[in-house]
Amino acid sequence: MGDELFQAMAQSVIDGEVEEAQRLAREALEQGIDPLEAINKGFVVGVNYVGDQYAAGEMFLPDLVLAGEAMKAAVGVLEPELARRGTEREMLGTVVIGTIEGDIHDIGKTLVATMLSTAGFKVYDLGVDVPVPTFVEKAREVGADIVGVSALLTTTMVKQRDVVEALDDAGLRPRVKVIVGGAPVTQGWADEIGADGYSEDAIGAVALAKRLVGAE
Amino acid sequence: MVRRIKSISDPRISLNILSPEDVQRIHTATLDIIESVGVRFPSHKALDIWEAHGATVDRDTMVVKAPGHLIEEALKKAPPVYTLAARDPEQDLPLDGNHVYVGTDGCGVQVIDLETGELRRSRLQDVAEIARVADYVEEIAFHWTPVSAQDCPPHTRSLHEIRVIWENSTKHVQTESIYSEEEARAAVEMAAVIAGGKEELRKRPVLSIMQCTTPPLGQDGGSLEAALVAAEAGLPVGFMTMTSCASTAPATLAGNLVVGNAEVISALALIQLAHPGAPVFYAAAQTAMDLRTGGYTGGGPEDFLFGGATNVLADFYNVPLSMGSFATGAKEPNWQAGVDNSLSTLMACISMSDMLLGVGLLHGSRIWSYEQMLMDCEIFDIVYHMMKGIVVNDETLALDVIRAVGPGGNFLAQKHTKKHMRELWVPQFMDRRPYSEWEKKRDGPRDWAREKARKILATHEPEPLDPKVSAELKRIIASLEK
Ligand code: B1M
């Protein structure tokens, strides 16, 4: 009974039940259900529901984050089978993100990373206090479409410019787009340093990233 | 001309927020966490100190696990009472548990321009001008670096900032924008110039340093090393936790207190292990994450409760407290700013937090507003008057006067009234005019606060800093800029 299983999958994401989502993913594999179908008809439906409820003010950020975790866990279970069938899940794009060197503010950057990942981007989160060359190396290594640089200090924000320039020097731009954000950052600053986009919050960052990869 | 400082003392109202058993449970839970989970100290210098005192140190993760008795014994070495010295000794601030002092908020990134009203990036001149206004205002007892001097080089910015504050004010300076060893060394050197030598500085610390912890359960390496340098020189050092329910701490308030407490007392213990008897303070600005945006709220019932509760913890450890109050999330001086800043300040004052930070910033400590600064001072003034409570004695019961006036009549012409009327509060900015007058002018508190700030800036001349001292400060900074 695929439909009931799909519903349970969606529900496990809505409830943010990581183990339950994994169990259902394994069950789908045992039943020989196409893993891509399990994702699209099951888990993604849950993610979308939570997204809508969040937008309506009925659900909150922890709901969203837990839903993302459950989704990620389920996909983790399904991945080997996806790879075996050669039906990799289509991602919107690849993002390398981190908080710039000298800066340890974590929460905003992590929120943006989580939202991007939930929205369907492949995200590499480099953490905090990330040196400029690390952004460039990782972007090259994973073939990033977007490099996201978070900075919350006026003293570290100046290094966002260095990332833009280093990606230029490495010949990765303009193919790789740079997006910036964080408390002291403004659209004016983003323009000044030649970044490709700025967003004041995580929701805006998702819309921005989608626009930059032509997904919207 | 010495400008008086208004501080709360001899409070007549009190708060019952955490019972002794509650505090003991929070303390026990905190020691459990420090011992079993540990706190991250990403500095080899700090790890060496911990290791030398028998704590368990993991060099890879930089997590320190310290037994409870080590923390407790270290904290016992912290002096319970000391003084924040000012350029002008008449403005010294004894942190003796019987005073509440207010400072400016700090590290704003934008300023609402006093002349044009336009929102723009902060610069060095703003730091100087805000310091000048703060020097004048009696509700402000000491300075934080109010906004960042973004027109100065990042690695010496914090030093230019304290230099211009000293040039514009005789009050104590506390910096929260120095978080590297190199800057801390230069700052100590500068403070010694102001105090008249290294030994004088130890006796009269004209500078104190506030660092942030890194929730959950972490410290910042640069901050630790800067704090160690400052403590060695005898400057008072504090660590502030900004644990946020649901993001960097449990969603529950007690759990938040435990996480933040573990960060602060482990940092203070480290300082005591390195420099026994060094003056330290507890600092906190806990909050609850905004459930919709993840944002730092800077207001709301949770913040107000933390404001009331934290001094109970600091008292338990017998060290002064610097408490985050004001700090509204409002975008402009409005209803939200009034509610946030009044309630947070009231709660922190009732529990006699030693230092309150601070006046003037909007939008979660990001936008400086002179209007907000002065209206915040008026909020403090209201609380100041409330804290005097209701005095009951023969004179205040005033039976003779009541008899003299009798039923009907009024008290306007009584000597007793004239004698006591100045104890009643008179606002600077509250609008108590007749409606018709308001209707004609349509102005109000913000306009009057702005006018007052302009007037202070145009007329107030702070006691100048000796040009030789000033030149010496500049030389120290320049030596780092080569
Ligand atoms: C790639 O594309 C994008 C796109 C959008 C992006 C993006 C990237 N990154 C962020 N966004 C955007 O989307 C996110 C989600 O909506 C948003 O992210 P935010 O991070 O803005 O929002 C989060 C969801 C919630 N917001 C936050 O978490 C930040 C809140 C405030 C209050 C803040 C906090 C909490 C902290 N701090 Co700090 N802190 C402040 C902040 C003031 C403020 N109101 O912003 C700020 C940023 N801090 C400041 C300072 C000075 C400092 N802090 C420090 C430390 C800390 C804590 C560790 C205590 C803590 C962070 C805890 C943690 N684990 O992350 C120190 C820094 C040490 C260092 N080397 O980094 C220290 C230097 C203090 C000290 N003396 O130690 C100020 C910077 C001012 C300046 N002039 O530069 C500050 C404005 C507060 C202030 N006025 O003092 C958007 O900005």
> Which contacts of A46-49 are long-range, i.e. CB under 8 A and separated by 24 or more positions?
A46/A9, A46/A10, A46/A11, A46/A12, A46/A13, A46/A14, A46/A70, A46/A71, A47/A13, A47/A71, A47/A118, A49/A10, A49/A13, A49/A14
Distances B351 to A31, B10, B313, B341, B387 between C-alpha atoms, Å: 63, 12, 11, 16, 10
Res A118: pLDDT: 87
Mean pLDDT (whole number) for A78-94? 89
Residue B187 near residue B178 (C-beta atoms within 8 A): yes
Res A89: pLDDT: 79
B120 and B252 housed in the same domain: yes
Q: Give the ligand 1 atom nearest the CA of B210.
A: 76
Q: Given the structure tokens 């060094």, which residue do they identify?
A: B278
Q: Give the ligand 1 atom nearest the CA of A111.
A: 15
**B400 CA from centroid of ligand 1 (Å):** 60
How far is B384 from B378, CA to CA, in rounded Å? 9
B176 and B262 housed in the same domain: yes
The answer, for A111 touching chain B at a CB cutoff of 8 Å, is: yes
Strands (E), B115-266: 119-121, 140-143, 172-175, 207-212, 237-241, 244-245
| pLDDT interval class at A86 (50, 70, 90) | confident
B418 and B332 housed in the same domain: no
Residues of chain B with Cβ-Cβ distance to A162 below 8 Å are none
How far is B188 from B227, CA to CA, in rounded Å? 11
Q: Give the ligand 1 atom nearest the CA of B223.
A: 77
% of chain A residues with pLDDT over 70: 99
Name the residue of A64, A100, A101, A105 whose CB sits within 8 Å of the most ligand 1 atoms, as the mutation to test its pocket. A105
How far is A96 from A35, CA to CA, in rounded Å? 26
Residue B414 near residue B401 (C-beta atoms within 8 A): yes
How far is B64 from B44, CA to CA, in rounded Å? 11
Question: What are the tens digits of pLDDT across the range B289-345?
Answer: 999 999 988 899 999 999 999 999 999 999 999 999 998 999 999 999 999 999 999
Q: Quick one: tokens of B310?
A: 């934290």
Rounded to the nearest 5°, which phi and psi values hold at B53?
A: -105, 15
**Cα angle at B318 between B314 and B322, to 5 degrees?**
40
For B70, half-sphere exposure in the C-beta direction (CA atoms, 13 angstrom radius) is 22
Nearest to residue A66, comparing CAs of A116, A120, A112, A16?
A16
In short, whether A22's Cβ falls inside 6 Å of ligand 1 is: no
Strands B119-121 and A121-125: unpaired
The answer, for B248 touching chain A at a CB cutoff of 8 Å, is: yes
Q: Quick one: tokens of B9?
A: 């003392």
List the single residue in A154, A201, A202 with the smallest CB-CB distance to B150: A154
- The arrangement of strands across the sheet holding B39-40 comes to B39-40, B63-65, B56-58
Res A90: pLDDT: 84
- Are A154 and B289 in contact (CB < 8 Å)? no
Say which CATH number the domain at B358 has. Answer: 3.20.20.480
Query: Is B459 part of any domain?
Result: no
B332 and B400 housed in the same domain: no
Mean pLDDT (whole number) for B261-283? 98
Distances B3 to A110, A205, B88, B119, B462 between C-alpha atoms, Å: 47, 49, 10, 31, 10
Helix, strand, coil fractions of chain A, as percent rounded to 5? 60, 10, 30
Number of domain units in chain B: 2
Q: Given the structure tokens 């160690």, which residue do they identify?
A: B228
Whether A54 has a pLDDT exceeding 80, the answer reads yes
Q: Supply the range of the domain harboring residue B345.
A: 75-388+469-478
In short, whether A157's Cβ falls inside 6 Å of ligand 1 is: no
| pLDDT interval class at B2 (50, 70, 90) | low
Res B476: pLDDT: 98
| pLDDT interval class at B1 (50, 70, 90) | low
Res A9: pLDDT: 97
- Are A183 and B109 in contact (CB < 8 Å)? yes
B384 and B400 housed in the same domain: no
Query: Is B17 part of any domain?
Result: no
The conformation of residue B372, written as its DSSP 8-state character, comes to H
Query: Is B304 part of any domain?
Result: yes
Nearest to residue A23, comparing CAs of A49, A47, A42?
A42
The conformation of residue A100, written as its DSSP 8-state character, comes to B
B400 and B258 housed in the same domain: no
How far is B212 from B219, CA to CA, in rounded Å? 7
Residues of chain B with Cβ-Cβ distance to A62 below 8 Å are 246, 251, 291
3-state secondary structure at position B26: helix
**Rg of chain A over all Cα atoms, to the nearest angstrom:** 18
For residue B467, whether the previous peptide bond is cis, meaning omega lies within 30 degrees of 0, is no
Give one DSSP letter per residue of A76-97, joined into a string.
Answer: HHHHHHHHHHT-PPPPSEEEEE
Residue B132 near residue B169 (C-beta atoms within 8 A): yes
Strands B367-368 and B119-121: unpaired
How far is A9 from B263, CA to CA, in rounded Å? 40
B183 and B253 housed in the same domain: yes
Res A87: pLDDT: 82
Query: Is B367 part of any domain?
Result: yes
Phi-psi region of B277 (alpha: psi -120 to 50; beta: other; left: phi over 0): left
| pLDDT interval class at A81 (50, 70, 90) | very high
Q: Quick one: tokens of B62?
A: 């930089």
Contact residues for B42 (Cβ-Cβ < 8 A; gap 6+): B62, B218, B219, B220, B221, B224
Res A2: pLDDT: 67
How far is B165 from B128, CA to CA, in rounded Å? 6
ipTM: 0.91
Residues of chain A with Cβ-Cβ distance to B244 below 8 Å are 107
| Helix residue spans in B137-252 (DSSP H) | 157-168, 181-195, 198-203, 221-232
Residue B13 near residue B350 (C-beta atoms within 8 A): yes
Q: Quick one: tokens of B176?
A: 């929260």
Q: Is A191 exposed, middle or buried (0-12, 13-18, 19+ CB in 10 A)?
A: exposed
B345 and B412 housed in the same domain: no
Query: Is B294 part of any domain?
Result: yes
The answer, for B213 touching chain A at a CB cutoff of 8 Å, is: no
Residues of chain A with Cβ-Cβ distance to B247 below 8 Å are 107
B398 and B347 housed in the same domain: no
Query: Is B18 part of any domain?
Result: no
B407 and B295 housed in the same domain: no
Query: Is B265 part of any domain?
Result: yes
Whether B403 has a pLDDT exceeding 80, the answer reads yes
Residue numbers of B between 279 and 338 with CB closer than 8 Å to A: 289, 291-294
The answer, for A40 touching chain B at a CB cutoff of 8 Å, is: no
Hey, what CATH topology would domain A2-84 get? 1.10.1240
What's the CATH code, domain A93-212? 3.40.50.280
For residue B376, give the amino acid letter: D
Whether B482 has a pLDDT exceeding 90, the answer reads no
The full set of domain ranges for chain A reads: 2-84, 93-212
For residue B263, give the amino acid letter: E
B406 and B384 housed in the same domain: no
Q: What is the mean pLDDT of chain B?
A: 97
Residue B125 near residue B167 (C-beta atoms within 8 A): no
B145 and B191 housed in the same domain: yes
Residues of chain B with Cβ-Cβ distance to A61 below 8 Å are 246, 289, 291-294
Whether A1 has a pLDDT exceeding 60, the answer reads no
The answer, for B223 touching chain A at a CB cutoff of 8 Å, is: no
